[in-house]
Chains A and B, each alone.
Chain A
């Protein structure tokens, strides 16, 4: 434990080497753990859930987002693009994403605010400044920081370094993870994490693979081992109508949680359609498109009742 401010500064400068890619920082986050928090959204995710509402988080590198409805076809972006990746046709700028390097010159040039680079590299030091600016709010409310994403385990070394620095500063740490990573990575993270918000998408292995693009074996295995080590865990379950909201799905989840000792709560996160337009802006339309229904209050309540019949811990709708 550092004994003085200068020790803290020294610690920070040692940890300053890793850089992380973040796509957002949200302050006054109220639903990502206890108290008032700052949530940091890391880029990169090993899953590709069909319902993903943060598709800009999937790629580890910065992405260009494009608001088609704002584009006025003025060619300002074409003029500044060094890669000649942009052409204007039918009054709309079209970007060859294979050529785009994400340099951001077109974003600066666009007079219509139709372009934005999502994702920025951060040093630990500069992030700590952002985090510490709200430290009085964490102190008052019992809050802290939450790493989310994307998937923090897609940038494990960076995440561990950042959480370590927060620990040194007595800032409460939480990690929102899908758990799809080697156990050693989870273990390293667990050593500096006060609370896990652990996402479970589906217990059924085959459908998990179908809907997220990956097996859930490692996810469930890591959850069990994390539970064995005694880490505090809140389970988060996105409820997607027609995809994982059958009674069987919820019973299987309840049975799993009932076997674990350190899960403190289950949060059902009802699906919302916030991600659909983002897919478009990234030039990769969602497979769900507009067919997907938003959640109904009744469905979420029903899911909660099923879980309440099985588990002893609190079950809440919403984070």
Chain B
């Protein structure tokens, strides 16, 4: 990277996240001055957005080429009191907590105490959401049966297609007017609502243009204050670009990047979406600009890379706004889940990889910015060298980019009723869930804790941690004669909690549709304009709702162990097992050992365990898939955890797979940590038995040592592993390439590192299978090689 990028990247990494009170102050002032009867809700929201665009601070950092921040400066993070009104206690906790701390100045404290809290405490969506939930729902929520995505943030997971590179917001306004005229002429029964929504969208178009023009003015002012002629020229160019986009469609590669960035800022300033926003398949979107300018000699690959790197840094300047409580537990990260896609197929299903795809891989490798998420889409039509270059980047060992299976994703889309054209243009949004780019609201609503539901099943509907009844009475498992009976009871419990959650979701969806529309986001997602409907009220072509299943591996292994030891071999009785679980295995160590060591485990290609995983999958799938939401869309399932498997683990006592109370659950569709002892091919065979095509996303983590991927031959074999998983319709895979520090931890805590593979000398082996001297030798060697 060049000196400019090195400095900007260094500044980004050095900046500490802080809470900015500016947005909360402006928003509160705006709403206090607003006559709520004067405008319908969408227009109120649009006016609020315009007020923010007109008044919030403008920041252009020294040396920046792509400009604009969500807050007053990098990592100064706004709050959204209309969604979640932080308490003074929250503000006290934020700077001191171990994970994801935020600095909070005294002025923010005062602002919250004097203005923000008095106004928003009873008006925030968080207050409305909890007030609307039944006591049964709250009891399940408090017990950690499920989480609620919309208690602090708003529905998001939006991804853009290529329309913002073809249309400026003046064009969007023309489109909005035409739609309004058509709706008026058609005698639409919802005409008034729709025209209000369209008016709101139109105001938002003006707002984003105003926001950009303020950047142009600021650049010109900065230019006057500098004596450096090079920077003066750069600032003049920034001003010209910000006067052109987003009002008009971008003309150049650089304008295209700045166009996206203004749209991104608009979306994340309007609301705190979950996840933020995602440019989608940026290599294909930007390629026409790139190709033309490079061919004309107006752009070099080096300059394109510099601009992309400036762009990359912008994402990492915007931490996810401060989360608290369970929302923080389920997503304890600054990552705001932008996932920049590269590769995949073009609109005709052909190879979508181009020169820019490789340039982007170079950028990912150089930037090493974990909060600017990146992935590749890999189709059978993409060349191996694209995958191999990706794995070279993966080998650097920071987990990026993750790898998605375009061909399986297309099948997922088609099964869910999307058009082939939209399927090919879609892909993963924030972490692993798929979205039809530019045309879908794929709203994740909460994680479901499968092992907790099994625990409740084993206690006849009661949560053993509190003694409180949470689910229906499904029978004392001591009276069960077969695993089928246990499965039936589990299915009844799961159905109960899914119903409870979906019932709550219906209320919450309406609350957002009525009180918290997102008219700016609606301008860039089809068919919001054509329908005159909001992103949060069924405007998108595909308004999908998700419930995320968590703990597949743990639940599978628990049921497999019960089937094996209680029913098949009668090694011990259900009574003994339940006593052992309730005692957290204290005094039941031999029984725990049987569960841990002598039971079928998911992730080893074991047919019994894999069949149980498939059955659990089906139970979850049939409880949810295809159910209607309130926005004209359908429910789908996905299997991913973010960090909730740790929190959920804390809410679940000992489990029948031998896991002790409070230990993290398995993540995604990965095996229980350390339970996969037969190597990655067995993991992939087990994971491949999950019917990924019936989901909207699954997550599989695999861990390797850098040395396994040392040479071209190792890289190719890893590529073959990926290709084979994708032949089995696997949705996603990501690799952790671990270092010596991890190996030392593995020595301290071998139980949790049973799946760690190392290359020894002429062969690869599990780290745990090696003796201490050899382990020491390998640690020394790895450290030497990485020096």
Contact = CB atoms under 8 A, between A and B. Distances in A.
A267 interface: yes
B777 A273 contact: yes
A76 to B, nearest CB: 10
Interface stretch (B290-298, B532-540, B760-768): B760-768
Contact of A113 (B597, B716, B720, B771): B597
A274 B714 contact: no
Nearest to A281: B771
A29 B681 CA distance: 10
B349 to A, nearest CB: 22
Contacts of B605: 133
B717 A272 contact: no
Contacts of B723: 140
Nearest to B593: A111
Contacts of B761: 269-272, 274, 295, 318
Given A111-B589, A273-B777, A274-B771, A30 B717 contact: yes
Contacts of B762: 31, 236, 267, 269-270, 318-319
A20 to B, nearest CB: 19
A35 B717 contact: yes
A32 interface: yes
A31 B678 contact: no
A137 interface: yes
Nearest to B764: A30
A82 interface: no
A272 B762 CA distance: 10
Contacts of B679: 26-28
A28 B713 contact: no
Contacts of A28: 679-681, 721, 757, 764
B717 A274 contact: no
Nearest to B770: A274
Contact of A272 (B716, B724, B728, B777): B777
A188 interface: no
B783 interface: no
Contact of B771 (A29, A137, A276, A295): A276
A288 interface: no
B662 interface: no
A136 B725 CA distance: 9
B192 interface: no
Contact of A36 (B678, B681, B708): B681
B590 interface: yes
Contacts of B714: 30
Contact of A29 (B682, B764, B770, B773): B764
A137 B763 contact: no
A310 to B, nearest CB: 22
Given A27-B678, A137-B681, A141-B716, A276 B724 contact: no
A57 to B, nearest CB: 13
Given A133-B605, A137-B724, A36 B771 contact: no
B128 interface: no
A208 B728 CA distance: 49
Interface in B683-718: 684-685, 708, 713-714, 716-717
A319 B760 CA distance: 10
A18 to B, nearest CB: 25
A134 B725 CA distance: 11
A307 B115 CA distance: 80
Contacts of A274: 760-761, 770-771, 774
B640 to A, nearest CB: 25
A273 B787 CA distance: 24
Contact of A273 (B716, B727, B774): B774
A39 B765 CA distance: 12
A292 to B, nearest CB: 11
Nearest to A108: B598
A122 to B, nearest CB: 16
Interface string B750-763: 00000001011111
Among A39, A141, A267, A274, the most chain B Cβ lie within 10 Å of the Cβ of A274
B774 A30 contact: no
Contact of A141 (B685, B717, B770): B717
A308 interface: no
A111 B590 contact: yes
Given A32-B763, A274-B771, A133 B685 contact: yes
Among A26, A28, A140, the most chain B Cβ lie within 10 Å of the Cβ of A28
Contacts of B682: 27, 133
A277 B717 CA distance: 31
A267 B761 CA distance: 11
B483 to A, nearest CB: 24
Given A35-B717, A111-B590, A134 B685 contact: yes
B672 to A, nearest CB: 18
A271 B770 CA distance: 15
A102 to B, nearest CB: 19
A295 B597 CA distance: 35
Contacts of A137: 681, 684, 720-721, 724
A259 to B, nearest CB: 25
A10 interface: no
Among A111, A133, A269, A271, the most chain B Cβ lie within 10 Å of the Cβ of A133
B774 to A, nearest CB: 5
A277 to B, nearest CB: 4
A39 B764 CA distance: 11
A236 B763 CA distance: 13
A27 B757 CA distance: 12
A215 B728 CA distance: 50
A187 B423 CA distance: 56
Nearest to A272: B761
Interface in B502-552: none
Contacts of B685: 133-134
B779 to A, nearest CB: 13
Contact of B774 (A143, A272, A318, A319): A272
Interface string A267-301: 10111111011000000000000000011000000
A7 to B, nearest CB: 25
Interface string B574-598: 0000000000000001100100010
Interface in A77-116: 111, 113
B771 A30 contact: no
A261 to B, nearest CB: 25
Contacts of B727: 136, 140
Contact of A30 (B590, B597, B713, B728): B713
B763 to A, nearest CB: 5
B765 to A, nearest CB: 8
Interface string A215-236: 0000000000000000000001
Contacts of A32: 763
Contacts of B721: 28, 36, 137, 141
Nearest to B607: A133
A140 B777 contact: no
Given A133-B685, A318-B762, A294 B771 contact: no
B564 to A, nearest CB: 15
Contacts of B713: 30
3 closest Cβ pairs, A-B complex: A141-B720, A319-B762, A28-B679
18 contacts: A27-B679, A30-B714, A111-B589, A113-B593, A113-B597, A134-B681, A137-B681, A141-B721, A143-B720, A236-B762, A267-B762, A269-B762, A271-B761, A274-B770, A277-B771, A277-B773, A295-B761, A319-B762
Given A28-B721, A136-B724, 5 more contacts: A29-B763, A31-B763, A113-B593, A270-B762, A294-B777
